[in-house]
Amino acid sequence: MKFIKKKPRLIVTWILSYAIILLVPIICSLTLTDGYSDKMTEQLQENNDLVTSIAADNVKDVLVSIRKYYAEVAFHDDLEKILSVPKDKIIYSQGAQNFLDWFGESGTYRDSYERAYIYQPESDVVIAENGIYDSKFYYETYFDSGIISYDKWKKSHFVENNTYSISDGAKDVGSVTPSEMITYHMALPQNILHRYGNMSFSVIVKKSDFFKRIPDNRWLTDCDIYLFTSNGSLLEADASEKNLPQTMEELLKREKKKNNIVQVNRVTYDTISMTLVTVGHKNLLYREMFKMRLVSVGVILFCILIGVALAWYFVRRDYKPVKELLELCGLSDYEDEYKKIRTSLENSFTKNKDLETIAEKYKLSLHKNALAQILKGTLPRSEMEAAFKEYDIKMHPGSIIVFAFNPEEFTAFLPEENLSEEQKQLEVRFIIGNIFEEIFTTAKSSGYVVNVENNIVCVASHIAADKEFFEKIINYGLSMIEKHFALKLTVCVSSVHSGANMLSSAYSEAMYALEYKRMRAIEKSLFFGEIKKTSASDYHFSLEQEKKLINLLQMGEKEDAASYINELFESIKKDETLSLENIKMLMFDISAAVLKVPETIGKQSFSAQELLSSATLGELQQKLLKLVNENCSPKNKLDDGAKFDAVCRYIEDNYQDINLNINSIGDHFDVYPAYLSKLFKKNCATTMVDYINNYRVHKAKEMMENTPYTIMEISQKVGYGHIRTFNRIFKKYEGITPSAYRSSLKK
């Protein structure tokens, strides 16, 4: 014990050495156990496959024999002869007697059945192997065992063409009890049914014939075999269970709870089909595995005892055997060598751990990159399944959904910390990834959080879930983040899709919803299905709206222009039916209208590119208001007086033009009609239309006084295309008609 106190480091070194040595038998034992388990499971599966194959072949042999015997009877040359002869005259029909003789010998398949007969409902007789009987007499003789009633027995013969039915019970078949017998009823061919009415061919079979070639010795498995009819009802079973299930659904539910190996095979021949279910019990497998585990534990305990004994031996002898071995090898300073060994091992362990960490990070990076490519649609669908397997991406085949977070909301995270935006995003990504991947990773669902184009995107799948289920889980995750990290986040969620091949579509919907949310500055979480959309044809930014905005800017009406811009943007924000595309077009058209006015962009607070690249409605609205505030001012107004004089001269020079109006004048001076209207009201207290009409009436009066032109000629010369219009305008401004005015001149 003194030695231990003197050299504790050496003791620690040797303990580490023995621990490493003990790892070898432990690993070997675990490897052997796992290998033995795999082999045992494989052997169990092979034996079950063999039993299933033999049972299926046996069932099919019985079905084939029944069907072939049916074919011999149905297409026998003398069958119609016996059906066409009345019962009391069959003895005189040679063809009928031939059929009965052949039928009595039971054809070629006597080993495959116990008894066969033909039932003819119209005459209510049974054509049996040993004669023709009334149905009541035949039932009482061969079927009245208490299992099936007479009426039910008769109804079981009514079978549709190309189908079959099964009924229980028959008696007087040697030592076989009625419960061990079944009767197959098959409709005769269509040509016979048309001639002689509905009738069927029936074959009585022992249930045990289906399992007669199955070996009794089934090593490594307590294998049970069940045979079900086409509708799932139990027909026969070779099982160790006392309580037999009556339906296949009941059996499958029971065996699933027991974790047994179940194989379901459908055995079909012609129109007859059955379902064979083989159940392999794992009782023996578990017993063998338990024995193997006991052996493994024994080996490990033995190695530990040997290690402890050797350690105690070397400590008691002051490590003399070890020191002698080291001195023989020229390593006298054993303590330094022990230290070197320990250091080398520790370094090796550290390097291995670092390499494992790097490999895990690299694998995770590949995993995230593959998922990002699938979401963006850059990975072909034909390669998706391989990518899922290679990078261990588990997607349930049922419902999938994609939701994205708004990075702009991350700025509220840890305001007291001096963190950069990039650091905040990294922190928030870590939080979101941990919470949502954990709450979505269950037996029925899976979840992954990836970074796609600087957006945090979560992909979730579930065996079968609807929008309400996903919404509940998402809200729970968001509440957890808000509760524990004081960070209120919202998400943009796609519709619920079916199948992993719809991931790209779901991602596009989530991104659309995110951009829509940013554009409209929506503060709550948004589902793609909540976005009301209009088609591009429903969108319009009217010419009148554009002209009004441009006129206000041209005239330097800063307050009115700003008010009108606010009015336009408020109408866009309130209209929830506008699609994202329509909103973008409206933003572009409003920006383009402002940029058309040189006076507005004189100082250019923003470049045209910056203006048109605004990400949200609010951002563009503020930029436009800033442009108007800085550049739209009275000093930038046109010289109204000079412009008014120029317009008046143009009217006086072109009053004879029939097409002269406020629009044509505006086009000539490159101004909008609203501007001209305001210009005339300001400078002459009248409208431009009144000014033009007054001048034309003035010139008409001069022509009446000084020329011999007729009234019609004068109306055309002053710019009126119709004399009726001229008369109306002249009377409006002079109070009398042109004719009356000319008459007054003559007086």
pLDDT digits (tens, 9 = 90+) for 461-480: 888 788 888 888 889 988 88
Least confident of 480-494, 537-551, 629-643, 704-718: 629-643
Question: Residue written as tokens 């990504």?
Answer: 429
Over residues 652-708, the pLDDT tens digits come to 899 999 989 888 888 888 777 777 887 788 788 788 888 999 999 999 999 999 998
Between 427 and 329, name the one with better pLDDT: 427
Residues forming beta bridges with residue 125, ordered by sequence position: 120, 134
Over residues 305-349, the pLDDT tens digits come to 776 776 666 656 555 665 565 566 655 554 454 455 556 656 766
Q: Is residue 728 scored above 90 in pLDDT?
A: yes
Q: Is residue 566 scored above 50 in pLDDT?
A: yes
Question: Which pLDDT band, with edges at 50, 70 and 90, does 730 fall under?
Answer: very high
In this prediction, residue 698 carries a pLDDT of 92
CA–chain centroid gap for 149, Å, is: 54
Compute the average pLDDT of residues 420-436. 80
In this prediction, residue 120 carries a pLDDT of 82
Question: Which pLDDT band, with edges at 50, 70 and 90, does 224 fall under?
Answer: confident
Which segment, 89-103, 575-589, 687-701, is predicted with the most confidence on average?
Answer: 687-701
CA gap 52, 54 in Å, rounded: 6
Between 25 and 397, name the one with better pLDDT: 397
The share of the chain scoring above pLDDT 70, in percent, equals 72
Containing 166, the helix (H) or strand (E) segment is strand 164-168
Q: Is residue 220 scored above 50 in pLDDT?
A: no
Compute the average pLDDT of residues 121-133. 81
Is 290 buried (19+), middle (13-18) or exposed (0-12) by CB count in 10 A?
exposed
HSE value, Cβ hemisphere, 13 Å, CA-based, for 438: 10
Q: How many CB atoms lie within 10 A of CB 314?
A: 15
In this prediction, residue 31 carries a pLDDT of 73
Query: Which residues, at least 6 apart from 602, have a Cβ–Cβ distance to it below 8 Å?
Result: 631, 636
Compute the average pLDDT of residues 294-308. 74
Q: Is residue 175 scored above 70 in pLDDT?
A: no
Are the C-beta atoms of residues 436 and 454 closer than 8 Å to each other? no
Residues forming beta bridges with residue 203, ordered by sequence position: 116, 184
Residues forming beta bridges with residue 273, ordered by sequence position: 268
Could you tell me the sign of the dihedral formed by the alpha carbons of 58, 62, 67, 72, in that order? positive
What CA dihedral angle connects 14, 20, 26 and 27, to 10 degrees? Answer: -170
Longest dimension (CA), the chain: 159
Are the C-beta atoms of residues 605 and 626 closer than 8 Å to each other? yes
Query: Nearest 5°: CA angle at 158, between 154 and 159?
Result: 145
In this prediction, residue 724 carries a pLDDT of 92
Q: Is residue 524 scored above 80 in pLDDT?
A: yes
Cα distances from 127 to residues 24, 87, 118, 422, 747, in angstroms, run: 79, 10, 5, 93, 136
In this prediction, residue 4 carries a pLDDT of 46
Compute the average pLDDT of residues 407-432. 73
Question: Which pLDDT band, with edges at 50, 70 and 90, does 645 fall under?
Answer: confident
Backbone angles phi, psi at 488, to 5 degrees: -95, 110
In this prediction, residue 725 carries a pLDDT of 92
Containing 593, the helix (H) or strand (E) segment is helix 580-595
Least confident of 47-56, 323-332, 397-406: 323-332
Least confident of 176-190, 327-341, 497-511, 657-671: 327-341
Are the C-beta atoms of residues 244 and 237 closer than 8 Å to each other? yes
In this prediction, residue 747 carries a pLDDT of 63
CA gap 679, 670 in Å, rounded: 14
In this prediction, residue 494 carries a pLDDT of 92
Question: Which pLDDT band, with edges at 50, 70 and 90, does 47 fall under?
Answer: confident
Cα distances from 181 to residues 177, 309, 411, in angstroms, run: 7, 71, 80
Query: Which residues, at least 6 apart from 95, have a Cβ–Cβ distance to it below 8 Å?
Result: 78, 81, 82, 85
Q: pTM of the entire structure?
A: 0.42
Q: How far apart are the first and last CA of the chain?
A: 155
Are the C-beta atoms of residues 267 and 278 closer than 8 Å to each other? no
Q: Is residue 287 scored above 50 in pLDDT?
A: yes
In this prediction, residue 727 carries a pLDDT of 92
- Token pair, residue 559, equals 């307050």
Based on C-alpha coordinates, what's the Rg of the chain?
50
CA gap 472, 385 in Å, rounded: 29
Question: Which pLDDT band, with edges at 50, 70 and 90, does 538 fall under?
Answer: low
CA gap 494, 715 in Å, rounded: 70
Compute the average pLDDT of residues 4-11. 52
- Token pair, residue 529, equals 């299905």
In this prediction, residue 493 carries a pLDDT of 93
Are the C-beta atoms of residues 202 and 116 closer than 8 Å to each other? yes
Query: Which residues, at least 6 apart from 577, have a Cβ–Cβ distance to it below 8 Å?
Result: 532, 533, 534, 538
Is 311 buried (19+), middle (13-18) or exposed (0-12) by CB count in 10 A?
middle
Between 651 and 198, name the one with better pLDDT: 651
Cα distances from 514 to residues 199, 345, 360, 421, 494, in angstroms, run: 71, 53, 32, 20, 10
Question: Which pLDDT band, with edges at 50, 70 and 90, does 178 fall under?
Answer: low
Residues forming beta bridges with residue 237, ordered by sequence position: 226
Question: What value does the mean pLDDT of the chain take?
Answer: 76
Question: Residue written as tokens 């129109």?
Answer: 271
Exposure string over 419-441, b if 16+ CB within 10 A, otherwise e: eeeeebbebbbebbbebbbebbe
SS (H, E, C) 225-254: EEEEECCCEEEEEECCCCCCCCEHHHHHHH
CA gap 33, 291 in Å, rounded: 10
Exposure string over 597-627, b if 16+ CB within 10 A, otherwise e: bebbbeeeebeeeebeebebbebbbebbbeb
HSE value, Cβ hemisphere, 13 Å, CA-based, for 440: 33
Per DSSP, 382 falls in state G
Per DSSP, 189 falls in state P
In this prediction, residue 1 carries a pLDDT of 47
In this prediction, residue 202 carries a pLDDT of 84
Could you tell me the sign of the dihedral formed by the alpha carbons of 103, 104, 108, 109, in that order? positive
